[in-house]
Amino acid sequence: MIEPSAAILMKVGFHAGEEWNEIIARKQGEISSAGVTFWGYGGSACHPLRQVKPFAHQCEGDVAVTMLWTKSRPLSPSRIADEMSVDGEHWQPVPPTVRITGSKWALVLDQLDACEETIDLGAYEISVGPSAGKPASEYLRGQSDKACVRRSAVQTEPDPRTVVARGRLAKPWAVFLR
């Protein structure tokens, strides 16, 4: 059982025509060559400026990225990002040894390891955004696939989930992509 005090939870799996083990191997190679990797994502949760960066500052940068398995297999074509921005206004090229597919934002990670562990979502609550304070186990049911969470003062019903990879958030924590 892993028990980080602060984490970004993400549901993960097959993406852009790549199997899970291929994605992990590629991302670990990017960390080896570039010092970081960029974990792409989309949706409305975990906006880089409104949620991820304030959360990282609140946690003094000590944020685990905990990846939970999903069986979802999106088949839509995926664009490869050419540029990234820490503020959505000033753009620079994505490092040449990094590939980010099908995403509008990305978390910045300096560690990433596949694992087979468990996290109890009943011990966590949403930390930032419109759902702040909501139990993580309730929030991550159904359509919600990512969240910034912290350990809750109140334990809800245990909700163990399988963790398939763990990473560590690194500055600048999250970027915009195009």
For 39-98, the pLDDT digits (tens) are 999 888 999 999 999 999 999 988 999 999 887 655 555 789 999 999 999 999 999 999
Residue 163 pLDDT > 70, yes or no? yes
CA dihedral for 128, 163, 144, 31, sign (positive or negative): positive
Average pLDDT, the chain: 92
pLDDT at 93: 97
Give tens-digit pLDDT for 54-69.
Answer: 999 999 988 999 999 8
SS3 163: strand
The reported pTM is 0.92
pLDDT at 119 over 80: yes
The two tokens of residue 148 are 């910034």
Contacts of 57 (CB under 8 A, 6+ apart): none
Place of tokens 């560690």: 111
DSSP letter at 62 equals -
Bridge pairing between strands 64-69 and 6-12: parallel
